Amino acid sequence: MSETSLKKERAVPKWETDTRDRMRVVIKKYAKPLADLCGDANEGDTRLIVTDFLCEGLGYDKYAELTTEYRVKGEFADFGIRLDQKMFAFIECEESEHDSWRETSTTSTVVCETKGEW
């Protein structure tokens, strides 16, 4: 195999390069606001940054692909993400200093118990 054909096979897709570039910019943009939230934030402030990151960083349309307070088996998730008009994922926000990673929320427990069927 020639060196030229190896380079072509290893080429990174344009969408991946574009996404990586966009993520670098967005991470730099939101690093300071996120750091400023530490110590003086509430869940609503955290949600604002998460919304901006989902839209600017990951390219979701906040009106067509995101929904808030999505009901899941009697509980609510802070965000639901739709792809092709179908619910794809849920996001639960907490204040930036909350140790939610140590706890399992009722919503995530329900989703896990039902194998993600919502």
pTM of the full predicted structure? 0.65
pLDDT at 82: 92
What pLDDT does 118 receive? 45
pLDDT for 92: 85
3-class secondary structure per residue, the chain:
CCHHHHHHHCCCCHHHHHHHHHHHHHHHHHHHHHHHHCCCCCHHHHHHHHHHHHHHHCCCCCCCCEEEEEEECCEEEEEEEEECCEEEEEECCCCCCCCHHHCCCHHHHHHHHCCCCC
CB atoms within 10 A of CB 21: 10
The overall average pLDDT reported for the chain is 77
- What pLDDT sits at residue 105? 52
Give the residue ranges of the chain where pLDDT is below 50: 101-102, 104, 107, 109-110, 112-113, 118
